[in-house]
Amino acid sequence: MNDSSAASPDDPPEISSANAVNSTLSGWGNYPKVNCTVHFQRQVDALRNLLVEGDVMSSIPRGLGRSYGDSSVNQDGVLVQTPRNRLLALDEKTGCLTCEAGVSLEEVIQCVLPKGWFLPTTPGTKFVTIGGAIAADVHGKNHHRDGTWGQHVKRLSLMVADGTIMECSAHQNSDVFWATVGGMGLTGIVLEATIQLMRVPSAYVEVTQRRASNLFEAFDLFLETDEQYKYSVAWIDCLSSRNKLGRSVLLSGNDAEVTSLKPKQAKSPWKLPAKRAKSVPFEFPGLAMNQLAIRAFNGLYYRKHGNRQMLMDFDSYFYPLDSINHWNRIYGKRGFVQYQALFPRDCSREAMVKLLQIISKSGQASFLAVLKSSGPANSGMLSYLFDGHTLALDFPFRGEKTIRLCHQLDQVMLEFGGRVYLAKDALIGADTFAAMYPRLDEFKQLKHRLDPLTKFRSCQSDRVGITEPR
């Protein structure tokens, strides 16, 4: 197959693979910002030389930079894999795709959807690389049915710290495989992977939209619909209180058969409708994301989204924010932190009520609040999800005020046996992280075996105690 050419609106600049440049980088939340030396390397031999013989003290692979916090930055050096973006092979009968790790999900979709295949699961943005999807073990609206990204990776090639390339799968070097899946790039550099795609009848979802007057009604709707629907997600008003606490709009969906499409759509069932992306041209003033504005937006959103059935294309259902380039700029220069909480199913209602009460009382509004149902855990040592419910929140960064709020939420997580998602995290401390991830020591032992000199590290890994700060 030919080199892929589609690009995200947030692609890094074109730089010769021989160059290294100094740059201030951050995750998608724009907090924290870190001065890094960025290395663009395409060739395997060049990557190996940089790791083994280069003067870089440590590094972390970085794709399109869509993790929210500091997981893909460090102060010593960053390996940028994005130039390794070739689609290598697609078996159109079985849906097995082999590609380099720098290929984006958008590029995969452009290639496979016209042939009747789609991603087995997908996060809320398609501007993520294959390597990044593996490192974060991303999930989507169908986790309760189909699990995480790592469960659909048939194999991967991993360059470890001494330059060795290991072939890994659930059956070959399985310990390394399950440390790499969800391991946030700390085991090595994923060079390429083979992914099992999902057959779809069209590029549309039949969606049932329901309103819930409070959080308890929302949980009841999830309980009623999890078996009936493949995809499920709810928007939550995190500023509502009392009998309206957690009022929600639930969007449940199944893949749309051709017979459900309009005649024009049915002629090309896997063709996505053309759309013109909008863009946020500059960083908003910090006061734009204030409580009053978000409260007004939440009220309007809830009133406008009543009970109904509708047909939505994949872009509208899975990637609503991708239609707005640089949407992270609405949070201003200080950026924002995303906080994604996960609680066990048997206590998730009680825990999330407490979480929302703290948020509502704090007055620190979350513009985006998304509730999802999750299924059983996989074998990943640091993979995030287990059977329960997750709530993802965005908080404009207000310094110590925001830090204190997130630490309050951490205490609720610990009280109810919950955990936070490393791909969204920017603030959690080492002791809290260790309490949330019981296989941390196992991961650290394997990492030490693969990387005794700690050549792969990030600001996040130092902060949460996976690696020791230099």
Task: Report the mean per-residue pLDDT for the chain.
Answer: 90
Any idea which of 9-13, 319-323, 400-404, 451-455 has the lowest mean pLDDT? 9-13
Bin 132: left if φ > 0, else alpha if -120 < ψ < 50, else beta.
Answer: alpha
- The residue-averaged pLDDT of 293-312 equals 80
Confidence check: pLDDT of 104 > 70 = yes
Distances (CA, A) of 34 to 79, 157, 386: 14, 29, 32
> Can you read off the two tokens belonging to residue 224?
């009623």
d(CA 268, CA 274): 13
450: CB partners within 8 A, 6+ apart: 160, 161, 176, 187, 188
Q: Is the dihedral of CA 37, 38, 41, 44 positive or negative?
A: positive
d(CA 330, CA 336): 10
- With pLDDT > 70 as the criterion, what percentage of the chain qualifies? 92
At 33, the amino acid letter reads K
- Bridge partners of 104? 129
> What is the set of domains in the chain, with CATH numbers?
20-199+441-463 (3.30.465.10), 204-429 (3.30.70.2520)
Provide the total of helices (H) and of strands (E) in the chain, helices listed first.
Answer: 14, 21
Q: Using alpha carbons only, what angle is made at residue 411 by residues 405 and 413, rounded to the nearest 5 degrees?
A: 105
| DSSP letter, residue 257 | P
Q: In what order do the strands lie in the sheet with 153-159?
A: 87-91, 96-100, 189-196, 153-159, 165-168
> In 3-state terms, what secondary structure has residue 25?
strand
Q: Phi, psi (5° rounding) for residue 468?
A: -95, 130
d(CA 162, CA 48): 8
Around 160, how many Cα atoms within 13 Å sit in the side-chain half-sphere? 20
Q: Using alpha carbons only, what angle is made at residue 201 by residues 198 and 203, rounded to the nearest 5 degrees?
A: 85
pLDDT of residue 275: 85
pLDDT of residue 5: 35
Confidence check: pLDDT of 89 > 90 = yes
Confidence check: pLDDT of 240 > 50 = yes
Confidence check: pLDDT of 309 > 50 = yes
d(CA 336, CA 69): 9
Q: Using alpha carbons only, what angle is made at residue 254 by residues 273 and 320, rounded to the nearest 5 degrees?
A: 45
> Can you read off the two tokens belonging to residue 458?
């990030």
In tens, the pLDDT along 179-198 reads 999 999 999 999 999 999 99
In tens, the pLDDT along 136-153 reads 999 999 999 999 999 999
d(CA 434, CA 439): 9
291 — pLDDT class (breaks 50, 70, 90): low
Classify residue 148 by burial, with Cβ atoms within 10 Å: 0-12, 13-18, 19+.
Answer: buried
In tens, the pLDDT along 371-384 reads 999 999 999 999 99
According to DSSP, the β-strands at 419-420 and 388-396 are unpaired
> Can you read off the two tokens belonging to residue 156?
């991967």
Closest CA to 68 of 283, 331, 291: 331
Closest CA to 28 of 107, 111, 123, 99: 123
In tens, the pLDDT along 2-31 reads 433 333 444 444 334 456 899 999 999 999
d(CA 8, CA 276): 14
Full-model pTM: 0.93
Classify residue 217 by burial, with Cβ atoms within 10 Å: 0-12, 13-18, 19+.
Answer: middle
> In 3-state terms, what secondary structure has residue 23?
strand
Confidence check: pLDDT of 248 > 80 = yes
Q: Phi, psi (5° rounding) for residue 11?
A: -60, 150
**Higher-confidence position of 20 and 60:** 60
Contact (Cβ atoms closer than 8 angstroms) between residue 135 and residue 224: no
pLDDT of residue 288: 58
Confidence check: pLDDT of 293 > 90 = no
| DSSP letter, residue 162 | T
> Can you read off the two tokens belonging to residue 367?
């513009």
- The residue-averaged pLDDT of 42-70 equals 91
pLDDT of residue 358: 92
